[in-house]
Structure 1
Amino acid sequence: MKKTIFTLFLVLLAATAQASDVVPDPGEPQITIRHGEEKTFYEYRQNGVLVEIKVVPKIGPVYYLVPADSGEGWIREDKSQLLVPSWVIFKW
């Protein structure tokens, strides 16, 4: 009886561990890729808010569009300003 309960406990523990691996990190941006005729757009969203657009033209250098401080329009930048934490503080 004890072996059955212990085995059941291990199976449930393993299932719980697998389920937790599926949940995406809320701090990571969601990326939507749209293909145009001459450019490809990568839209980066955090918490549902569009924070940056990466523009990859077929000819020419890559550039980024970031929201203006006034809230109206976009500003062109040569480098990304998106900061995504990449360290792990705690992991089982």
Structure 2
Amino acid sequence: MSFVIRKVCIVLILALLGTGVSWAEEEADIKIRYGEDKTVYEYRVNGQLVEIKVVPKIGPAYYLVPADGGEFERSDTSSVVVPSWKILEW
């Protein structure tokens, strides 16, 4: 019985590792720019700017997301989705 469980665990781990390779190509590149009154995070995927996070010294953080016409619109929530899974918990 334990032999079968080990085999299943190994197969699942290998399957998860195989899917992780494709994520590496689509990882966001983040540039951080520090200013006197704010910090700006630029998120790029495949070289294209997908979101800007602005963290002012005073006040809440906000996001600038691409809108029609090549401009940006302000948003209170992020549009960048980061894949995350809980594989094991103690």
TM > 0.5 between the two? yes
Give the CA deviation at 1:36. Answer: 1.2
TM-score (norm 1): 0.63
**Partner in structure 1 of residue 60 of structure 2:** 61
Give the CA deviation at 1:82. Answer: 0.6
The higher radius of gyration belongs to: 1
Paired-residue identity, %: 62
RMSD: 1.8
Q: Deviations over 1:14-58 (max 9, x none)?
A: xxxxxxx9xx81221010000111110000000000000000000
**Partner in structure 2 of residue 3 of structure 1:** none
Q: In structure 2, what residue type is equivalent to 1:84?
A: V
After TM superposition, where is structure 1 displaced by more than 4 Å over at least 4 residues in a row? none
Structure 2, unpaired ranges of 5+: 1-20, 86-90
Q: Deviations over 1:45-72 (max 9, x none)?
A: 000000000000000000000011x132
Structure 1, unpaired ranges of 5+: 1-20, 88-92
> CA contact under 8 A between 1:27 and 1:84: conserved in structure 2?
no
